[in-house]
Chains A and B, each alone.
Chain A
Amino acid sequence: EAGVAQSPRYKIIEKRQSVAFWCNPISGHATLYWYQQILGQGPKLLIQFQNNGVVDDSQLPKDRFSAERLKGVDSTLKIQPAKLEDSAVYLCASSLGPGFYSGNTIYFGEGSWLTVV
Chain B
Amino acid sequence: TQLLEQSPQFLSIQEGENLTVYCNSSSVFSSLQWYRQEPGEGPVLLVTVVTGGEVKKLKRLTFQFGDARKDSSLHITAAQPGDTGLYLCAGARYSGAGSYQLTFGKGTKLSVIP
A residues contacting B by CB (< 8 A) are 4, 40-45, 48, 55-56, 58, 91, 93, 98-102, 105-111
**Interface size of B by Cβ–Cβ distance < 8 Å?**
27
Closest chain B residue to A109, Cβ basis: B42
Contacts of A109 in B (CB 8 A): 42
Report yes or no: A106 in contact with B45, Cβ–Cβ below 8 A: yes
Q: Is the interface of A mostly helix, strand, loop or mixed?
A: loop
Q: In the complex where A56-B101, A98-B100 touch, is A110 in contact with B41 (Cβ < 8 A)?
A: yes
Contacts of B74 in A (CB 8 A): none
**Complex CA–CA separation, A99 to B99 (angstroms):** 7
Report yes or no: A42 in contact with B106, Cβ–Cβ below 8 A: yes
A-B pairs, top 6 by smallest CB distance, nearest first, are: A108-B42, A42-B104, A100-B92, A55-B99, A102-B48, A100-B31
Decide if B68 is an interface residue (CB 8 Å cutoff): no
One digit per residue, 1 when the CB lies within 8 angstroms of any chain A CB and 0 when it does not, for chain B 92-114 equals: 10010111111111110000000
Q: In the complex where A48-B99, A55-B99, A56-B95 touch, is A100 in contact with B104 (Cβ < 8 A)?
A: no
B residues contacting A by CB (< 8 A) are 4, 30-31, 33, 40-45, 48, 50, 88, 90, 92, 95, 97-107
Q: In the complex where A40-B106, A42-B105, A100-B30 touch, is A108 in contact with B99 (Cβ < 8 A)?
A: no
Contacts of B33 in A (CB 8 A): 100
Q: In the complex where A42-B90, A110-B41 touch, is A100 in contact with B106 (Cβ < 8 A)?
A: no
